[in-house]
Structure 1
Amino acid sequence: MADAGGYDATSDQELLDLHLRGDPDAFGELVRRHRDRLWAVALRTLGDREEAADAVQDALVSAYRSAHTFRGHSAVTTWLHRITVNACLDRLRKAATRRTSPVDDPERMEQLLEPHEAASAPAERNALQRELVAALATLPADQRAALVLVDMQGYPVAEAAGILDVPVGTVKSRCARGRARLLPLLTHLRPSRERARHPSGEGRNHPPRASVPPGAPERLPTGPPDSATAKGGGERT
């Protein structure tokens, strides 16, 4: 048994091994290290705080119980993210016939920003994030998950492919289709001179990141940082 500080030099893989050997605190340390990014992925994918919390809880319970199935072909964080994304996609599929979009509910849009984000981010960035999350909610689940990982969380395409357990080309295709669907929803975010130059979007075969105001990031806004997380390649099981 060790306190959180006692695990500083322990890798994720070693923590998982300790968990399997009966260490009562090792899995909790894994959760502490990665929960912010797991939560951010779930929140942006599902667009609902309660659903996201339930999905993360389901994922962590599943990971806790199935740790013995992990073969070490990828980073532990990739494995945790895959379980979390699958939990989110399961919820999206089950709720497909009754799902409501947060697009028309400003209060729900506010919930998608973490308290520290809402307090510290400039008003323009908060408004941009709300617009982007609302637009994401209109996408099919597979496209949304790919864009959340690549454009919002900043994962390389190859790593997103490992998390989603699909080929790299599939992630690229889902991102391209998702961005194409988002573009009409985000056209109004272009600077006025850009709208005047390309009033109908002709000649601008670019993803939505070309449609944000000056000074905004080239990717979609990222979720809470998790400097302790070490990323790895994709595992195929």
Structure 2
Amino acid sequence: MRAQEGDLRAFEVLARRHQAALYRLAVRVLDNRDDAEDALQDALLDAWRRIGRFRGEASFSTWMYRIVTNRCLGLLRRRGPALPVAEMAEMVEVAEAGTGIVPMPARRPSPEDAAELDAGLVALRAALADLPTQQRVCFILRELEGLGYAEIAQITGAGEQAVRGRIHRARTRLAEVMRPWR
């Protein structure tokens, strides 16, 4: 890999290729776009500094997911336990950008439907924010980023069974909290 030999242009190409997915992960974990931008920028700097230590045991994207996840977890530890619920407009903007957070209806919803959808999105965002950090990270990587259990285990440093358990508990908790919105 040319990037490992110090080729900054090669690293920039790799970073650009994965930047959108990494940013999406950071936004979902941190629930704050400014913090996500900071985490991603710091993670990319970390990756550039450590590129010589990349052994290729996992894919480059998995390695980058791990660096971004660790950055996000560090920010969450420093921030404290509570995550603010983002503004509804931002949530709808993210959903409309096709990130997979929530499917948007094809037709223009009535004001009543829009209000109900908005309230449901706020409830979902709050439910995700209330999950324990490790459950939230595993759930996001699996359900929103579409990664496999083995890859999530590599990213989080947890065993595959632990990852499966965290995702199961996250799904169960989200199903409980979102039951009134069905």
TM-score class normalised by the smaller sequence = 0.7 to 0.9
Partner of 1:70: 54
Higher relative contact order (CA 8 A, sep 6+): 1
Per the normalisation by structure 2, the TM-score is: 0.82
Structure 1: 5+ residue stretches without partners: 1-13, 191-237
Give yes or no for the alignment of 1:52 onto 2:11: no
Per the normalisation by structure 1, the TM-score is: 0.64
Counterpart CA distance in 2 for 1:115 and 1:69 is 38
Counterpart CA distance in 2 for 1:116 and 1:41 is 14
Partner of 1:101: 84
Counterpart CA distance in 1 for 2:37 and 2:85 is 17
Counterpart CA distance in 2 for 1:130 and 1:44 is 14
Cα RMSD for the two superposed structures: 2.5
Q: Describe the SS at the equivalent of 2:97.
A: helix
Any residues of structure 2 matched to 1:131-210 within 5 Å, and which?
Answer: 131-190=123-182
Aligned pair partner of 1:117 in 74, 93, 98: 98
Deviation at residue 92 of structure 1 after TM alignment: 0.8
Counterpart CA distance in 2 for 1:38 and 1:161 is 17
Q: Describe the SS at the equivalent of 1:155.
A: coil
Structure 2: 5+ residue stretches without partners: none
- Higher helix proportion: 2
Deviation at residue 161 of structure 1 after TM alignment: 0.9
% of aligned pairs identical?
34
Deviation at residue 129 of structure 1 after TM alignment: 5.4
Deviation at residue 185 of structure 1 after TM alignment: 1.6
Q: Which has the larger radius of gyration?
A: 1
Paired letter, 1:109: M
1:55-101 deviation line (CA, Å, top 9, x unaligned): 1111111000011111111111110000000101111111115x442
Aligned residues: 170
